[in-house]
């Protein structure tokens, strides 16, 4: 299925959960923040949050800044 | 010598009056040594999208240092609120430096949107630290909206141009009953020292340290300068003599070479 991640289409296995998807992307599950369809997903819900086709995700983290 | 007045920000007592920005370093791996040399207890970070295999900065920041996420990228109060919520969800506390900027050339903060952002963030229990032009009315609006400090710019961000807004910052120091953290544009330790001599509460430095040939040494220089400026302010500098009044001997006048 296709979902929109950070403005780009990414292909995921059907009903993939957030934790698996983040690991597959090579992202640090502990330090990223995820917004799914405009709602921030608490870290403790990553494992049980499954995505559906055409979901919109923002995956962000801290970078250097002033 | 009496102790300094405690510096309490958002209910947290701080020893260091130098905040460190973490942008523009040649490598994030420099940051632990720079942070240590600066003595900073607070460092700013930005929030951005994560690429595949993207590594954030958190791993490079010593665990005893408090993160101050900024809302850079926000052009409106609502965008700042969204970024602040994301930052808070990262689980590193409730402090947020509000940056609301839509001007792309000089990157000057939008005072109206910034004051509105303070209002929105404070309602959500966020400790709001707005980055502002040193404008008395904007600073007052931020204070009334519940800001924990104001962060006036010394010069346009990232320019190393120094304390160009000195007069206006002096007015804020006099008029605003909040910590004044001079932020942006300071290029030399002497300029941070001068801001502290005027009575600023703290300074935030990023580009001046990151763009130095030896960032670790420059961080140490800023640490010393901020401390010196603070001590000078506490000491209360002597009066400046008008030029037309001539000079005044500091040694007793001789009584034998008549």
Residue A33 DSSP SS3: strand
State percent of chain B over pLDDT 90: 86
The phi and psi torsions of B243 (rounded to 5 degrees) equal -55, -45
Three-class DSSP category at B182: strand
Asked if pLDDT for residue B185 goes beyond 90, the answer is: yes
Query: For this structure, is B97 an active site residue?
Result: yes
Strand order through the sheet with B151-152: B95-98, B127-132, B151-152
CA B161, CA A4: separation in Å to the nearest integer? 42
Residues of A in contact with B206 (CB under 8 A): 66
Task: Examine residue A38 and state whether it is found in any structural domain, yes or no.
Answer: yes
pLDDT tens profile B197-238: 999 999 999 999 999 999 999 999 999 999 999 999 999 988
A38 CB near a chain B CB, below 8 Å? no
Domain-located, residue A21: yes
Q: Give domain status of residue A22, yes or no.
A: yes
Containing domain of residue B137, as a range? 7-235
B24 → closest Cβ in A7, A27, A64? A64
Q: What is the pLDDT of residue B234?
A: 95
For B231, the token pair is: 């001590």
Contacts of B86 (CB under 8 A, 6+ apart): A33, A35, A40, A58, A60, B47
> Is B254 a residue whose pLDDT tops 80?
no
Number of domains in chain A: 1
Question: CB B50 to CB A27 under 8 A?
Answer: yes
pLDDT at B37 over 90: yes
Global pTM reads 0.93
| Phi–psi pair at A33, nearest 5 degrees | -120, 135
For residue range A4-52, what is the model confidence (pLDDT) as tens digits? 999 999 998 887 899 999 998 899 999 999 999 999 999 999 999 999 9
pLDDT of residue A14: 83
Is B181 within a domain? yes
Task: Decide if A10 is inside a domain.
Answer: yes
Domain CATH number, residue A44: 3.10.20.30
Asked whether A29 and A22 are in contact (CB, 8 A), the reply is yes
Residue B14 has pLDDT above 90, yes or no: yes
A66: in domain:
no
Q: Which of B31, B54, B85 sits opposite A40 (nearest CB)?
A: B85
Q: Taking CB atoms and an 8 Å limit, are B21 and A40 in contact across chains?
A: no
Place of tokens 């005044």: B248
Confidence check: pLDDT of B170 > 90: yes
**Catalytic: which of B24, B52, B97, B223?**
B97
Measure A35 CA to nearest chain B CA, in Å. 8
pLDDT average, residue stretch B4-23 = 95
Q: Does A25 contact chain B (CB < 8 Å)?
A: yes
Residue A47 lies in a domain: yes
Supply the range of the domain harboring residue A34: 2-61
How far A25 CA lies from chain B's nearest CA (Å)? 5
Instruction: Indicate the number of domains in chain B.
Output: 1
Helix residue ranges, H only, chain B: 31-38, 77-89, 111-123, 136-144, 166-175, 189-197, 207-210, 215-235
Nearest to A31 among B53, B86, B90 (CB): B90
pLDDT at B1 over 90: no
What integer pLDDT is reported at residue B82 of this predicted model?
96
In a domain, B158, yes or no: yes
Quick check: B191 pLDDT over 80? yes
Pick the residue from chain B with its C-alpha nearest to A62. B47
CATH number of the domain that residue B171 is part of: 3.20.20.70
Any domain includes B252: no
Q: Give the pLDDT confidence of B104-155 residue by residue, as tens digits.
A: 999 999 999 999 999 999 999 999 999 999 999 999 999 999 999 999 999 9
Beta carbons of B221 and B39 less than 8 angstroms apart: no
Question: Would the CB atoms of B91 and A25 count as touching at under 8 Å?
Answer: no
**Cα three-residue angle B201-B205-B211, rounded to 5 degrees:** 160
Reported as a pLDDT band with limits 50, 70 and 90, residue B168 is very high
Measure in Å the smallest separation between the Cα of B230 and chain A Cα atoms.
22
In a domain, B241, yes or no: no
User: Which residues of chain B are within 8 Å of residue A65 when distances are taken between CB atoms?
Assistant: 21-23, 44-46, 70, 72
Tokens, residue B79: 């965008």
Task: Please give the average per-residue pLDDT across B16-43, as a whole number.
Answer: 96
Q: Do B58 and A66 touch (CB under 8 A)?
A: no
Taken as a whole, chain A contains a residue count of: 66
């Amino acid at each position: 299925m296709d979902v929109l991640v950070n403005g780009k289409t990414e292909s995921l296995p059907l009903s993939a959960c957030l934790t698996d998807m983040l690991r597959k992307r090579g992202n640090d599950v502990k330090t990223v923040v995820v917004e799914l369809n405009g709602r921030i997903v608490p870290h403790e819900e990553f494992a049980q949050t499954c995505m559906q086709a055409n979901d919109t995700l923002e995956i962000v983290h801290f970078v250097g800044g002033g | 010598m009496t102790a300094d007045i405690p510096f309490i920000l958002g209910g947290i007592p701080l020893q260091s009056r130098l905040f460190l920005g973490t942008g523009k370093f040649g490598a994030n791996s420099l940051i632990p040594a720079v942070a240590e040399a600066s003595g900073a207890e607070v460092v700013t970070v930005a929030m951005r999208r994560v690429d595949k295999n993207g590594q954030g900065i958190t791993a490079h920041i010593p665990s005893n240092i408090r993160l101050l996420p900024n809302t850079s990228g926000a052009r409106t109060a609502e965008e700042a609120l969204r970024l602040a919520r994301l930052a808070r969800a990262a689980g590193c506390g409730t402090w947020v430096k509000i940056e609301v900027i839509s001007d792309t050339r000089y990157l000057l903060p939008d005072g109206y949107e910034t004051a509105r952002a303070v209002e929105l963030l404070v309602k959500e229990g966020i400790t709001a630290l707005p980055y502002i032009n040193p404008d008395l009315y904007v600073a007052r609006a931020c204070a009334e909206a519940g800001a924990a400090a104001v962060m006036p710019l010394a010069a346009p961000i990232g320019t190393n141009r120094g304390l160009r807004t000195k007069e206006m910052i002096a007015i804020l120091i006099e008029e605003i009953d909040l910590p004044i953290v001079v932020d942006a544009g300071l290029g030399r330790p002497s300029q941070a020292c001068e801001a502290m001599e005027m009575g600023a509460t703290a300074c935030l430095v990023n580009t001046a340290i990151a763009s130095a040939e030896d960032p670790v040494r420059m961080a140490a220089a800023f640490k010393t300068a901020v401390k010196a400026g603070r001590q000078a302010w506490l000491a209360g500098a002597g009066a400046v003599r008008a030029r037309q009044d001539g000079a005044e001997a500091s040694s007793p006048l001789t009584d034998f070479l008549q």
